[in-house]
Amino acid sequence: METRDLFVSVTPSRVADIVIEALTVGSVSGRIVDQYTRSADGREVVVLIVEKYFMRTSNRATLTLIADNFDSDGRTKVRLTGSGGGSGAFMKFDWGAGASFSAKAEEALAEYRL
């Protein structure tokens, strides 16, 4: 499992759009499993789950993104968690699939990072 926390200058909905584009278009063949958005009073939270098949692990990895702008400082907090790339009941080693998936999402948000 690989978890990364960062702050960006765009809204949670825009974060989701950027990550969806980065992980589902071109050579990265991710698939949206679920997206949940909730907003009220100018605040918003987005939860996004994306999965991708990794040949090196012969398994699917997931990326869970949580983005919110609940703080009053104008920043959006983003949490990226890559997981599920390990194979077997006891062997959870994923050969870097979770980290790779998280890194790709983080790279997509790099220009907005604070």
Look at the chain and report how many structural domains it folds into. Answer: 1
- CA gap 52, 29 in Å, rounded: 6
Say which DSSP state 113 is in.
B
pLDDT at 102: 84
pLDDT at 52: 83
At residue 90 the predicted structure's pLDDT band, cuts being 50, 70 and 90, is very low
Helix axes 97-108, 12-24, angle to 10 degrees: 120
CATH no. for residue 79?
3.30.310
pLDDT at 13: 97
pLDDT at 93: 47
Segment 10-30 shows an average pLDDT of 88
Query: What is the model's pTM?
Result: 0.83
Look up the domain containing 17 and give its range: 2-112
Q: What angle do CA 48, 94, 35 make, to 5 degrees?
A: 5
pLDDT tens digits, one per residue of 27-77 = 567 889 999 999 999 999 999 999 987 665 566 788 999 999 999 898 999
- CA gap 19, 78 in Å, rounded: 11
Contact 50, 24 (CB under 8 A): yes
Distance of CA 39 to the CA centre of its chain: 19
Return phi, psi of residue 17, to 5°: -60, -45
Instruction: Give me the percent of the chain exceeding a pLDDT of 90.
Output: 56
Lowest mean pLDDT among 60-64, 68-72, 90-94, 108-112: 90-94
Residue 1 predicted with pLDDT over 60? yes
